Homo-oligomer: A and B are copies of this chain.
């Protein structure tokens, strides 16, 4: 196991500033590009990360913390941002994501998690028992997956403009990934 709470927190703390450095003030041509029907633009990725902050990671961690291993997580709607963020600006969503992430990390830190607490489990609605350490690891990997997605979506915007260099740029051939 590579997971530890300190190194996971280091990464989780950096995601809002990373997305802000990359996306704040960019033209809509960049921030609203996507990979076709059903895929997320960078704007939507930020909205999805914000909603996950509000209704996925901490609500699920609290279910595990409540101590009943028979309990099941509340569902997470991975498309909720489409309903909730119509007409919002990317700058607002970046601010709200940063604030929500900060609060969530403060709450996790306040728990003073030890090894036993990280091994505690509850049930994922689709695949059964998962531990708090697995949930927190997934939080990190989910961030990084969506950061890679943002880079990929924006790279493809210039897919035809690179001409013969296309063969040296494998990111242009990476397929869209399903939302998670």
Q: How many copies does the complex hold?
A: 2
Nearest-CB residue, chain B, relative to A172: B141
Is the pair A161, B2 in contact by a Cβ cutoff of 8 Å? yes
Is the pair B154, A151 in contact by a Cβ cutoff of 8 Å? no
**A interface majority secondary structure:** helix
A154-B167 Cα distance, complex, nearest whole Å: 25
A82 at the A/B interface (Cβ < 8 Å)? no
Known A21-B17, A22-B18, A169-B141; judge A155-B164 contact (CB<8 A): no
Chain A residues within CB distance 8 Å of chain B: 1-3, 7-8, 10-11, 14-15, 17-18, 20-22, 25-27, 29-30, 124, 127-128, 130-131, 133-134, 137-138, 140-142, 144-145, 147-148, 151-152, 154-155, 157-165, 167-172, 174, 177-178, 180
